[in-house]
Chains A and B, each alone.
Chain A
Amino acid sequence: SQKIEQNSEALNIQEGKTATLTCNYTNYSPAYLQWYRQDPGRGPVFLLLIRENEKEKRKERLKVTFDTTLKQSLFHITASQPADSATYLCALDMSGATNKLIFGTGTLLAVQP
């Protein structure tokens, strides 16, 4: 079965630096890969989606890359701010029908002022 691994449970960085979060998967490449932000006690919020035939996607300070050879997606937050502190989840959509996302366990990002 498909497995997802997100790098270290927690990542601490200084304000202004670039945060890089990793999402690795096994077996087959998904049709789509999504990234969500989750704050404590809240539901996840959709951030970005990247398709299997796309190498990179950007949205403001966010950048996502997708390497189907390495079976890996990287999520970057540039010029990080303390308000970016949250848990970030990656999710795989194997079918492209968005009816069964598989979520990773998430990486807790802490941006220190």
Chain B
Amino acid sequence: DGGITQSPKYLFRKEGQNVTLSCEQNLNHDAMYWYRQDPGQGLRLIYYSQIVNDFQKGDIAEGYSVSREKKESFPLTVTSAQKNPTAFYLCASSRSGATSINYGYTFGSGTRLTVV
């Protein structure tokens, strides 16, 4: 079955460390997204990519970096510059084209990052 795989499910980071969250999809979707979810807040967009080798900052990109070298993969690096990284991170993908809006986003199961 097609879908999005995020790994790991749980991740612990020490202060000052960079960590990378994996996101892989086999849906042949062009667009991919990273969101952060905190208790009591809606999902907030970190970065998005509409095509390979191109990505744009979302609303809260500071302290994060991404790459999009392959259509299937959109890894997110949480750098030491991110002051409050503890959160639930969600990766999503979507189709492109005229009918894409009918299908919404497909989300992965998320990675819960905790700073220790």
Query: Interface residues, chain A, CB within 8 Å of chain B?
Result: 4, 9, 32, 34, 36, 41-47, 49, 89, 93, 96, 98-106
**A4 to chain B: which residues have CB within 8 Å?**
42
* Total CB contacts across the A-B interface at under 8 A: 59
**A32 to chain B: which residues have CB within 8 Å?**
101
**B110 to chain A: which residues have CB within 8 Å?**
41-43
**B6 to chain A: which residues have CB within 8 Å?**
43
**B102 to chain A: which residues have CB within 8 Å?**
49
A80 CA to B41 CA in the complex, in Å? 26
**A41 to chain B: which residues have CB within 8 Å?**
109-110, 112
A36 CA to B45 CA in the complex, in Å? 16
A90 CA to B35 CA in the complex, in Å? 15
| B45, B92, B94, B105 — most chain A CB neighbours (10 Å) | B105
